């Protein structure tokens, strides 16, 4: 699992790179970055990076979601949650979560734009993590005992908030 953590870190950093230099400055992560470096520096760096490395719109708008779903699937795989004496495998939660967010965008409950490419990217990321990456350990309850791996799993779900767009 340790080499998976490095893969997760690289994927999340790629998503962060795309968000910082190609997505709207109104996302939470960009607002945090602007508060650290200043709006002027942010705009200057963004202009430089986007000019030096132009990216396709599918990469800019769909790849980060697919990478996030890939990462969260990897960290969710070894866990289940117990609800009313029933064990629910968390393997499927990232896919349900990402498609659910897209559907909420479709009906304008959340900010953002519904996009089939995002769903395709999510399904591809989930499939790669669920079926291509092997998990040799038995699944365990995420809450009992609550471990560092449990904390990383919960934290990775919270990362989605950083992509939230302020209105």
pLDDT per residue as tens digits for the range 105-155: 899 988 788 899 999 999 999 999 998 777 667 788 888 888 888 888 888
Please tell me the distance from the alpha carbon of residue 125 to that of residue 73, in angstroms, as a whole number.
8
CA distance 11 to 7: 6
Distance CA 94, CA 40 (A): 36
Q: In whole numbers, what is the pLDDT of the chain averaged over residues?
A: 89
Q: Residues 46-55: what's their mean pLDDT?
A: 96
Taking the model in full, what pTM does it have?
Answer: 0.87
Please check the confidence at residue 71 and state whether its pLDDT lies above 90.
yes
> What pLDDT sits at residue 167?
55
Q: What is the pLDDT of residue 166?
A: 59
Burial of 15 (C-beta count, 10 Å sphere; 0-12/13-18/19+): buried
32 burial type by CB count under 10 A (0-12 exposed, 13-18 middle, 19+ buried): exposed
Above 60 in pLDDT, residue 163? yes
Q: b vs e for 83-111, b when ≥16 Cβ sit within 10 Å of the residue's Cβ?
A: eeeeeeebbebbbebbbebbeebeeeeee
Residue 21 pLDDT greater than 60, yes or no? yes
Q: How many domains does one find in the chain?
A: 1
Label residue 2 by pLDDT band (50, 70, 90): low
Alpha carbon distance 89, 87 (integer Å): 6
Q: Which domain holds residue 100?
A: 2-163
């Amino acid at each position: 699992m340790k080499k998976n953590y490095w893969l997760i870190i690289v994927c999340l950093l790629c998503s962060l790179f795309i968000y910082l230099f190609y997505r709207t400055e109104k996302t939470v992560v960009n607002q945090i970055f602007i508060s650290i470096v200043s709006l002027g520096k942010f705009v200057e760096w963004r202009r430089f990076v986007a000019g030096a490395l132009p990216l396709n719109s599918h990469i800019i708008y769909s790849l980060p979601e697919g990478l996030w779903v890939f990462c969260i699937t990897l960290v969710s795989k070894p866990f289940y949650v117990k609800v009313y004496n029933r064990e629910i495998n968390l393997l499927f939660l990232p896919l349900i979560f990402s498609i659910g967010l897209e559907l909420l965008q479709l009906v304008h409950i959340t900010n953002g734009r519904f996009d089939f490419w995002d769903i395709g990217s999510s399904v591809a990321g989930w499939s790669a993590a669920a079926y291509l990456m092997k998990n040799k350990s038995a699944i365990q309850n995420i809450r009992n005992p609550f471990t560092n791996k449990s904390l990383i799993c919960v934290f990775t779900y919270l990362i989605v908030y950083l992509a939230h767009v302020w209105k």
